[in-house]
Structure 1
Amino acid sequence: MIKQLWSKYKSIIAYLFWGVVTTVVNLAVFQILSPGLHWNVEVATVIAWFASVLVAYFTNKVWVFGSHYTTVSDFLVEILRFFFYRGLTLVIDMVITYVGIQVLKFDTPLQQFIVKFIDNVIVVIANYIFSKWLIFKDNRGIEDK
């Protein structure tokens, strides 16, 4: 029974694991740059996004969706598609961060962390949907077909 459940849900479990890693990267970079070094919130958000998207792309490609593209052109199409859809969720990220921190004035380090945590939960869900059905849909391993 456990083997059947693992087989059925392994991509979701792997995605959630790597999503946690990606979220930690995003939160850590943001916390270092914005509250830590007092950088602008929007700049810190974009840099944290870029770092976490790089981690997410390679972990999703290899361990979550089993992408087997090996040619340069296929790789470029895939990574550009990945960054495009992650760019859409960056907009979500920016809106939530702006509203939470600038408009609602949740601006202490703990409040910023809570805003970013809630933000990341929403973004992770949207990213899974994009990855599963729009990015890695045509290039999964044999076990997914």
Structure 2
Amino acid sequence: MQKIKLFFTKYYEALSYLFFGGLATLLNFAILLVLQAAAGREFAAGAGNVLNNALCILFAYWTNRTFVFKSKNHGKAAWSEFVQFVSCRIATAVADQIIMWLGVTVLGVTLWLFGKDCGPLLVKLVAQVVVIVSNYVFSKLFIFKKK
């Protein structure tokens, strides 16, 4: 039991990043599915994906700041941290948008499961791998770096 506790203590940051990143990814997929059901495939992969990313950026900032990197910044420092976070997330959201556009609109990736077109979900999965890795690097090295 002590070894397990030591493991979680030693790797808390990475494990909590994966956990909360997983929650953000689930939120991203849930919003995608709702938008696709409500407004169609093209909207969900286009303008809806922009809204989806904005909501997920706010969720990710709160969880990263509070639980993962445990930032203690206040005032100007906290505002600077937020601006850096959002700027980096916008960059990876652009990458997500490009991957979604290429996969869904240009390539027309289609995957039929249980009578539903899950192509956008498959493309979103690929995009999320790129986004999660990039976001961790930005957060760890630039935004929430320990001083």
- Provide the residue aligned with 1:142 in structure 2: none
**Do the aligned partners of 1:82 and 1:135 also contact (CA within 8 Å) in 2?**
yes
Correspondences of 1:15-54 after superposition (within 5 Å):
15-38=17-40, 40=43, 41-54=45-58
**1:73-84 aligned within 5 A:** 73-84=76-87
Aligned pair 1:60/2:68, yes or no?
Answer: no
The normalised TM-score by structure 1 is: 0.88
On the 8 A contact 1:15/1:60 being kept in 2, the answer is yes
Question: Please, which of 120, 125, 141 is the counterpart of residue 117 of structure 1?
Answer: 125
Q: Which residue pairs with 1:128 in the alignment?
A: 136
Shift of 1:107: 5.0
Task: Give the aligned partner of residue 94 of structure 2.
Answer: 91
Deviations 1:22-66 (A, max 9, x none): 011111112212343226222111111011111100000010001
Structure 1 unpaired stretches of 5+:
140-145
Distance 1:103 1:56 in 2: 29
- Identity over the aligned pairs, expressed in percent? 31
Over aligned residues, Cα RMSD in angstroms? 1.6
Gaps of 5+ in 2: 112-116
Residue 106 of structure 1: which of 109, 116, 133 is its match? Answer: 109
C-alpha contact 1:29 1:47 (8 A) present in aligned 2: no
In the TM superposition, residue 4 of structure 1 has moved relative to its aligned partner by 2.3
Residue identity opposite 2:23 in structure 1 = V
- Equivalent in 127, 135, 145 of residue 137 of structure 1: 145
Matched residue count = 138
